Structure 1
Amino acid sequence: MKEKYTRFKKFVKAIAMPRWARWVFRGVLVTFLFMIVSYVSLAWYINTHKEEVLASVTAELNEGLTGTLEIGDMDPTFLSGFPRVSLRLEKVVLKDSLYARHGKTLLKAESLNIAVNALALMRGTIEIKKVSIENAAINMYTDSLGYSNASVFKKGKKAGGEGGGSFPELRKLDLEDVTFVIDNQKSGKLYNFAIDDLSGGIEYTDGGWDADIRLNTVVHSMAFSTRKGSFIKNKRVEGKFDISYEETDSLIVIKKNPLEIGGEDFSVAARFKTGGTAAKFAINIENKSILWRNAANLLSPNITGKLLMFDLKKPIGVKCDIIGDFNEKGDPLIRVNAEVEDNTLDTPGGTLGNCSFFGVFSNNHVKEKGFNDANSAIKLFGFKGDYSGIPIAMKKVFILDLEKPLAVGDFSSNFKMEKLSGIIDTDLLKFSKGTANVKLNFSADIVDFKLSKPLVKGVVSIEGANVSYVPRKLDFKDISVALNFTKDDLFISRIILKSGKSIVNMDGSIKNFLNLYYTDPAKIVLTWNIYSPQLHLGEFMGFLGSRQRTRAAAVKASKGNVTEDLNLLFEKSNVDMKLRVDKLYYNRFFATDAKADVLLTDNGVVVKNAGLKHAGGSLIINGTMLQQGKINKYSLDAVINDVDINKFFYAFDNFGMETLKSNNLKGLMTSKASITGSITDSGMMVPKSMYGNVTFGLKKGMLLDFDPVKNVGKFAFPFRDMKNIEFYNLNGKLDVKGEKVTIHPMKINSSVLNMDVEGVYSFGRGTEIYVDVPLRNPKKDKDITDKKELAERRNRGIVLHLKAVDDGDGKVKVRLGGKKE
């Protein structure tokens, strides 16, 4: 025992402290013991006076309210709020004074923890310094007349004019599993946050307060206009807020801090004006690397739907400003800026690569017209990119009025024509050479994400192009074109076209071109002036046949398909041509000074007032051709004046006759014909297809070495020259019916003999021609000039009645026998 006491004395001596230190130690020890005693006393006091304390807390909280605060139960939780006293309030319900009218509970919490001043509590006063809310719903409601249940915090003036109390001054606020809703029926706004965790501290200053808050929440609605939908709907928001309040300006400022929204990293800053009747705010959001679609999906549906007309493959930098008033109806001002560099842009019209531009979205394009879809605009500045290898530049492009979208802007490009193969199907047009230069200004409606009824001004020029129009197998070389678009019309000038041996100069115009192009191509009429120093029709025979459908046309193309649009244009549009040709060639046919008005439609060709010089005479032709595939139907009215019949028959390949050839004929022919028939898509007459009638006259005519006549001569006139027969004013009328030609009664007066001819000549079988031949030699009457006397002498003497028929081999044989009456 003695040894233990000795060791204790040594310990005391080892820890010996100066006198002042011992007093400090004693003071701390006394204070600590006092606090322990105080907490124990408070515990005893609260447990023994629970109803009084609960009533005091309830009264203190209700002191700053115009409604009612109900608390179901209360328990002390000392350690959680040390050195303050913490009280756990159960079943807390806060209602405003007009709850019975609107039925909206402002606060309903399963538990609410408050930290109070312990000394004040011992004096019987409640000073709340911290509030923690768990498993609660906060619903701030404003009706259509502007009344808000948040007015529960607004105390009216007391008697004597002094202001009433206010809600307790808080130092800390914690929320866990709290639904926070702001429903403003008057301004049509709805904010709904599912707060997983919110913790913050508040420091009060001379001019207001500063707060440091951390938030983790899911935004179910942030609708500045419930009619248009929510921003960042169902997106998680997580981050820190540094907030300050300036009482003088009634201004809450949120400093710029990083914030995660929907898994994307943003920088966010904001300002909120709280004084007066206005509740103005300004929110700035920035992200330096975000995908276009992800950014668009953070906005309200009415904006998102328009922005998703487009897509950018690589991340972009965006800034968004939202400026408005919580008490005002409708959307706030929304302004989004985007910087795009070397990106890929998907549009309704196709994909553009290597894109760079500065983009702006605003819902206040014209300041005085408010914040709405009709006054919204998507603006692109300094656009550069390429479309299927074709470089594109646009100084500015605007899409205005997102209710009825309108695109306006400018467009320029310079490219090799071969690049068009990436846009236009090579089964339609195939380019192998040439350059194009495009400079246009445009405006157009956007209907179902497609340009409609555009207005275009500007010029498209093409130089030295080679192109094949595949559906009609037409090849053109060294084409030069200038297209001049005015407000409504298209003027086409300076077209130089070469195809084989042909050279064609063209110009024309289309009235109301672009409107009809998008609405009714069948009504398009191209007024076309064509001049050619020499034209070989055989090189353009592709126009005779029906268009061959391209692969793009055979399968229904997607909207905006350029090939399909051009296919429809070529197939349905009409061409009204004024044709002037110095020299015209077609197989054996040659003519000069050709003129014609030609109308090309989607199913045929109409020729009006076609005139030309041929074989020393002239032809005037009117006709139509109906395209029906490889065989095409035609209808022809022709007037022929003083044409060399030898050259005429040669040019038209003897009109399909196998017996009568061009070398059998000589003289000047005048004729009128009205014929229908068929022609192949290669330009060849279809045998036995002609129907119609022909009247003709022949001056200075001769029949040379014609076998049927020679056969007659051998039989009846062996001593006359039947190989060279001269005719005098021969006139006749023929009816053509397929392979048969009906010869109306016709008097033939010649140098060898006179004949009366009628019957049927067949290109196949069925020839039956009756010939009455007076045997009197016409040379005996050559000096008679009296027509009456000459007619009487014509049939004097023996008249030979002959019949020309075909035999089984298709050859014509002449027999004796006249026509049976």
Structure 2
Amino acid sequence: MRALKIFGIFVLILLVISFITVTFFGGTVAKAVVASLNRNLQTEIKVAKYDVTLLRSFPNLSVNLSDVEVAGSDGSQLLVAERLRCLLDLGSLFGKIRIKEIVVEDGRLQLLADVDGNVNYQLMGYTPVGEEPEPAGEATEFAVEDAQFRDVELIYRDAQLQVDFTGLVDQLSFSGDFGSEAYLMSTDGKIDIHYLDQEGERYLSNQSLIITAQTKVDNTNSKYTFAPLRVEAGDLELEVVGDMQSTKDGLSMELRVESQSGSLQDVIALIPPSYAGGLGELETDGDLLLSAAISGAWTQRAYPRVDGQLTFTDGRVGSPRTNVGARDLNLKARFAYITGDRGGYQSFAIEELTGNFRNEPFAMSLSVENLDDPRINFTADGALALGALPGILGESPLTAGDGFVRIQQLRINGRYEDMLRPRRMGNVAASGSLTFDNGELTINERELSFPSGSLVLRDNELELTNFAFKGPGTEINFTGRATNLIPVLFADSLNTNDAELNFDARLEGTSVDIDELLTLAGPTEAEEEQAAATGATDSLRAKTMTRRTQITDLLRGRFDANVAAWNYGEIKGENFRGQLIFTPRQLDLRGLTQAMDGELKIDGEVYFQELQRVEGRITGRGIDVEQFFAQSENFGQEVLVAENLSGAMDANIYIEAYFDEQGLFDYEKLRVLAGVSIAEGELKNFAMLENFAFALKAGDLERVRFTRLENYFEIVDQTIYIPAMFIQSSALNLEISGSHTFNNYLDYYVKVNAGQAIANKIGKHDTELEILPARRRGFFNLYYTIKGPLEEYAVKSDKRGVKNDFERSQYRKDRVRQELVERFAEPIQLLEATAETEDEAG
């Protein structure tokens, strides 16, 4: 009993001494830990705050460091952490610092390797080239039972292997005798991978991995032996055993990978997103077996060999987007390294993929020999249900489908490099046919149907027969031939191999709605709503324009078109006969059509470049002027509108129209030249005539008939310019010139034959609206300017101003006429009859 009391007193004294030591010398101990680490790790550790405690960790000593910064061996920032806790042996108070546990919380760990393989995390035993190792300082023992990372952002960049990785370590623990040259390390935890890129290709994205491992670490030889490493990704469980060793040029490995549980969708999730596409959203059920051997060097110039196979049997595939309806799936895929006289190459093959899509059988195979210089052999037979496409494609404007595309003996064989280049497509063999069977698709919430049509592939030639297409306002049929389909399908976004779909086809139909067709190639309503909510509408429009440019960059050929009815906005036409001629980034449109009770001849070009541009020449004959104004939406002005006009119009109009980066009409760059003649016209309820009420009877204000209105016009700088012209009407004869801006600022100059007008007013109102005799020079004339905004313009008398503007405007008229002659490459002259332009004898 006495001995027990003595032992208790001794322990109590020891505890009191420990508490006193921690209380008075805890900061010194913490500083000693940091100083010791700085000496032994040959890097710099900065700490903002120290905290030492014994109560919460007894019988160990806990050193808590706050706002920790650790420099890498190359001077970069290796670790930043809000908290770093070290658990020390109690004896560290009285001698050698013994670190048993390290916990890092809420921080960022950045691991870097340069192109020569030098890393920033070589913290112990590192001596720069050309320098002598420093003599050993005070020892620090790493008998670590547990090293933990909690909520630590992890960044790994290897310039030698071109690997870029970011993720979040939710919780990851390591244990082992880290101070030894060789030891067994245990690992357990979870990592959320943000992305993993290799050579610019994304291989993993938004994946969570659970890791448990027993790893033999040989620091002397930089060798790691997994015995085993287990990785869980969803329901997929992978077991890895074997060796991985760091070398001067990269890594060397001899690994075996096995899995007998999981789903095909978990395997697809490990495929690079750029290859998997919408497959990553598929939901699968079936029996999966995976095994592979990975051996050899991974360097800047070489990849390790992979031999293995994956089988998926008795499978079903579904999608959250649509009913894929895929059953009885059987998949057999194989990786193999083939050796030969000239070395070896890696190959991959889907030896078998069979199943039923909505009770229709489907089969395909794919082999890729030599992944460094691939030779592709692809076959397919059966029916592809269009209803499965939304699920396969994933996020896209395509949201629903029905019907089938029936594939018959489709075969494609050749080198991938030859498939990319039109000039080398002669080395590629292709054959087979596709037939559309009551196909239906919903794109951008618009229902489209493909009731019939066939496509036959003969090497590099494609023949399309009676391909029917129906959509909102559109019903057309295509027949024709094309070449270079395969290079176009494989073309990259920059079309670096100059792929072009050369075609010659006929387009016939009962109706075409151009607005609806353009909508199909535009953003979805969901994209527009999201862009509006995030303020990204402009960038979305720019993306749409880029997409259209990329498509037109691939087209070279012509459609001979015959369409019974068409519309673009409010403009409607019938019986269009002409050609649509595509060259890269350009569409030429030539044709005749009936519109607005007359005939239009259209000759124009659309340039799909960074800034889209339209250049067109339109010749109109017998056009109803009221319909012309109405369907043109009154050209955006409110002074002279469709309800004010009637008559038959002939016109030659040249248009240069531009669109900005977002695809919006650029009014500042709009330019229009026009020669217009309106015969037997009538002006009705034109408010501006109220300014001449002194010379008009009440009935004249309602209706004014004129024999012929002829002039040349120009639109530039958001302003329409009207050169001086003579108007002979039933109410009065006048000459007018001036301009009118798009924001309705008026600048008109008017000369009125006042003597004739007053004489006409004294007389009785002519209900027949007989045209007054043409007299430019009356007994006396009045000269007016009409200037100012539409809401409050001013009418003033200004004889000199009117005459000067008439003279200036004659130069504009002559210039516009001459440029129209050049643009249309034909004589253009608006001739006014002599009897109508010269004053009659008094």
Scaled by the length of structure 2, the TM-score of the pair is 0.47
Scaled by the length of structure 1, the TM-score of the pair is 0.48
Larger radius of gyration: 1
